Structure 1
Amino acid sequence: MRQCIGPAHAWHEEQAKAPRTVGHYLHHQAQQFAESDAVIFEQEVLSYRQLDELSSQWAQLLLEEHVSVGDRVGLCLDRSQHMLAALIGILKVGASYVPLDPDFPDDRLAYMIEDSGLQHLVTQETHIKRLPSVAHILNTDLISERLSQQNTACPDVTIPEDTAAYIIYTSGSTGKPKGVVVPHASVMNFLHSMAEKPGLQADDTLMAVTTLSFDIAVLELYLPLWVGAKIIIAKKQDSSDGRRLLSLLIKHQANFMQATPATWRLLISSGWQGEPRLKALCGGEALPLDLAEELLQRCSELWNMYGPTETTVWSSCAQITQTQTPPGLGLPI
């Protein structure tokens, strides 16, 4: 018998009857929060119902393009609510997405496309010329009418829990990108645990700042939809400019943000005085003692997050409440 070293969680009664793959679970949750705001990007707001219908239209279009369970679909899109809808659509048909950050160098993108063996690529006109040829390409600038004509029903696709949800490329110990395949069951376990600790509620607003090609974006984009919360998607220009990020936080009154130490320092250097309701998650690098002290003065809760991509985003977390000793990694999730 395999010993469990972290806390074991039982599914709540209502969750026990819910789907066990990410896209279909998010569809299930969308029914519970249908008219609540799900995602905001710039001036556009999508309710849970609208996001679910748009992602289902993406799923139907992908099925029309003969995308099937187990296929690998590259996604190279600028950050927006459409990026999120396409991601969920890919998950709903049982394909695994390979995030391709448009800001990455051309040779890195080319390597990831070749190494992952992509059968399909979803991208936009501004990026097509930079990317190697793939058998099936969906150019979002050319398919808007076709997409809008798709059925808004979530497709009934049988997806085994061990099917890959995504493939994230890390730098690898040799410095060469290495693809890490993460199954739906692992993502479901991760989100279930994160909803309990550090915890996210339906009345929370999360600021999403992380590139899709960094696996911690999984928490930012799916955890709010898991619990009925709201996502604010920051553009690349916002998340890399402390003053713009501060302005966005204030505008939307976000009370939950996850970021690396570098991004937190960027925000502090912009003059951020803090938000008494903010739950701050810090990870991706070691949390320095001086930064922990600065953050504790500015937010309601500070959590130190740790985990390699291979173990599905975060493996452990610790709430930091003092700065007399260096921040610890806490217990396994």
Structure 2
Amino acid sequence: MNNNSQNGQMTLTRGDLLLHRLFEACVDVNPERIAAVSNKEESTYSEINRKANALANYLRNDFELGRNQTVALITEKSERMLVGMMAILKAGGAYVSIDPKYPKSLVDYILKDAQADILLVDSQFIHLIRGYEGRVCLVDIELDSLEDHPENLKVVNEPDDLAYIIYTSGTTGQRKGVAIAHEAILNTLQWRVKYYNFSESDVTLQIPSYSFDSSVADIFTTLISGGKLILPDEQLKTDPEYFNNQLKTYGVSNFLITPTFYQRLLPWLDKDQDSLRFITIAGERLTKELVKKHYEKFPEIELINEYGPSENSVCSTAKRLSATDSQVTIGKPIDGTSLWILNEKLEPVEGSEVGEIYLGGKGLAQGYFGKESLTASKFISHPGHPDQRIYKTGDLGKFVDEGEVEFMGRADNQVKIRGYRIEPDEITAKLLTMPEVKDAAVIAISDANDQPILVAFYSLKDDTEEAQLREFLNAELPDYMVPSHFVALDNMPLNHNGKLDTVALETAYAAKSENQSGKELKQMNEVERVLANIWNETLQVNGVDLDDNFFEIGGDSLKSIDIGARIYTELGISIPGVELYNYPTVAQLSEYLMKKMELQPQPSSD
């Protein structure tokens, strides 16, 4: 790898097409630039590189980490996260990101499925790995004691070696690991650098969890461009006031966000954003209304729509949107990517007919780690070019003006909720493992804002309470996969073909919501009544009571933004959305608000 000392441009050879090599090139160009800010602590490129070298040397020599070997990573979103990722790559391995918010059962599954015999973990998360039989490095404790290793390690990888594994939802009840090689993700990253004109002056607010594939895009696009990465507090990042403060304090130039989150955040953002030059929308379908609202507020800030599954290295198509677009599309394929829309016979559709989207090119994953048959069913030979491998996305689309693609939804029942890819069948399969559950079905239903929510329907063999079902799923699945609502039925309804009658399920859900309004509620004071009404309307439920838990009746981190907005409008009090985690019931939140209002609790009235 050669650096042009006048402009920092790099001349790349094939051997340089490795994630850590491009990061090392940025270190060589400007070692003292700030690479990351976490908890107000700044880390330079040279500091991260030096620590990553020391840890990589330790992994290679003491842990005998070999080429293509998987290493799990469970840390806070911090400098250690970046050091861990880089160290694993430098040593020759592939990192497996595990969100510390995952339940232990899911952590156990991923560690086993990914064959991760080495684990880097913050000591505060040691409870998640009880029973793990691999080798463990307590990275927050051991990192500072490692022998300094200023020189970059000898490269042992080839570009087609494994770089990372990202786990996504699966229909069988078990998650599947998408295995991505260095050259595959670098096709996306190098395109992003060029498309967005990324440079060392860019500052990225890094929002997605590092176990979510979009994180790979914004973390590494920034760090191979010499830019600065802002790692926000995970508990506060959905709080609008905190978000605004991050943008202003650090002069953020860009961030990647889901449409659902951005729609809630947009009204709260300050209009004068001097440093912000573009916002990337990804993970869910984008509406024309949101595009319009964006450009009404920020006419000078670009809005870009990215589309792509994990199986094609995060991004496959992109579209620069404008206020005058007659429709929202996902654009055209990025460099190095091919896209086809085929019918059920694997023939190209004619004109603007709807078909399934297939992807090919440099960004394709190696497949699903350790799952050869599943890989073979999803990564197939192109019907017209048997030597060309393509991925069956399950997404529907059609060609529109100038060869752009309009996303038309799913061919199956997979859904995107808060940007996460979810197979409802995986949740159903988990419920059916409970001995008390006779039958179950989980489907996505659109709420009043046309956003999908998960609803679980179940029939029982005994008198198990709904709370027990929720508790079980909380222990087995990530929080975003736990249904918002549960509906008890005597039996699952079937249509005349003997298949699950989803229309009847939706009717049962509507009936439960309506019946909820008829329950006898506890007496409330004025503030409690206002809060209960806000929850009823925001969550589209009826009969919210004093002791109902916000997160057990359909609430989540994004809906907490809506709650905060309504509280400010109706009570004149500004509260961070994170407070709902501290005061999750109407009674608790009311007491907290009245203290802020310097009021004493009022006697209950009829």
Give TM-score, length-normalised by structure 1.
0.91
1:32 to 29, 34, 41: 29
- Say if 2:51 and 2:143, in contact at 8 Å, map to a contact too: no
Q: Provide the aligned C-alpha RMSD in A.
A: 1.9
Find the counterpart in structure 1 of residue 343 from structure 2: none
Q: 2:118 aligns with which of 120, 125, 129?
A: 120
1:90 aligned partner: 88
Residue 325 (structure 1) aligns with: 326
Provide, for residues 232-271 of structure 1, a one-character-per-residue CA deviation record: whole Å limited to 9, x for no partner: 1112123222221121111111011111112212322434
In structure 2, C-alpha distance between the alignment counterparts of 1:175 and 1:323, rounded to whole Å: 43
* Equivalence map 1:59-138=2 (5 Å): 59-63=56-60, 64-131=62-129, 132-138=131-137
Secondary structure, aligned partner of 1:130: helix
> Unaligned 5+ residue runs, structure 2?
1-7, 335-606
Letter in 1 for 2:333: P
Instruction: Tell me by how many angstroms 1:171 deviates.
Output: 0.9
1:200 to 198, 201, 208: 198
Q: Relative to structure 1, is the Cα distance of residues 129 and 13 closer, same or farther in structure 2, using a 3 angstrom cutoff?
A: closer
Give CA-to-partner distance per residue, 1:66-96, whole Å, 9 cap, x none.
1111111000001101111111111111201
| Structure with the greater alpha carbon radius of gyration | 2
**Structure 2 CA distance, aligned partners of 1:246 and 1:175?**
39
**In structure 2, C-alpha distance between the alignment counterparts of 1:303 and 1:112, rounded to whole Å:** 33
Q: CA deviation at 1:229?
A: 1.1
Q: Is the 8 A contact 2:203 2:227 kept in 1?
A: yes
Contact 1:242–1:269, Cα closer than 8 Å, also in 2: no
When the two structures are superposed, what TM-score results if normalisation uses the length of structure 2? Answer: 0.51
**Partner amino acid, structure 2, of 1:128:** I
Q: Counterpart in 1 of 2:452?
A: none
Do 1:255 and 1:275's aligned partners in 2 also have CA atoms closer than 8 Å? no
Partner of 2:11: 15
Once residues 55 and 141 of structure 1 are traced to their aligned partners in structure 2, the CA distance between those partners, rounded to angstroms, is 13
Q: 1:155 to 1:324 in 2, by over 3 A?
A: closer
Identity of aligned residues (%): 24
In structure 1, the residue matched to 2:511 is: none
Find the counterpart in structure 2 of residue 191 from structure 1.
189
Q: Which runs of 5+ in 1 are unaligned?
A: 1-11
Within the candidate set 268, 280, 286, 2:266 is matched to: 268
| CA distance in structure 2 between the partners assigned to 1:291 and 1:176 by the alignment | 34
Residue 310 of structure 1, CA deviation:
0.3
> Is 1:227 aligned to 2:225, yes or no?
yes
For 2:189 and 2:25, locate their aligned partners in 1 and report how far apart those are by CA, in whole Å.
Answer: 15
TM-aligned CA distance change 1:239 to 1:328, over 3 Å:
same
| 3-state SS of paired residue (1:179) | strand
Separation (CA, whole Å) in 2 of partners of 1:275 and 1:13: 30
Q: Write the letter of the residue equivalent to 2:91.
A: V
- Residue aligning to 1:43: 40
SS in 2 for 1:212: coil
2:80 touches 2:139 (CA, 8 Å); kept in 1?
no
How far 1:205 sits from its partner (Å)?
Answer: 0.8
Aligned to 1:156: 154
One-letter identity of the residue aligned with 1:189 = N
Deviations 1:120-164, CA, capped at 9 Å, x for gaps? 0110222111224031011124313432x2312111032011111
Letter matched to residue 302 of structure 2: E
Q: CA deviation at 1:31?
A: 0.3
Q: Is the CA contact 1:61–1:150 (under 8 Å) kept in the aligned structure 2?
A: no
Distance in 2 separating the partners of 1:119 and 1:316: 36
1:236-255 aligned at under 5 Å gives the runs 236-255=234-253
What corresponds to 1:6 in structure 2? Answer: none
SS in structure 2 of the partner of residue 98 of structure 1: strand
Aligned to 2:50: 53
| Secondary structure at the counterpart of residue 190 of structure 1 | helix
Find the aligned partners of 1:268 and 1:67 in 2 and give their Cα distance.
45
Q: Distance in 1 between matches of 2:330 and 2:242?
A: 31
Evaluate the alpha carbon distance shift between residue 145 and residue 225 of structure 1 in structure 2; reply closer, same or farther with a 3 A threshold: closer
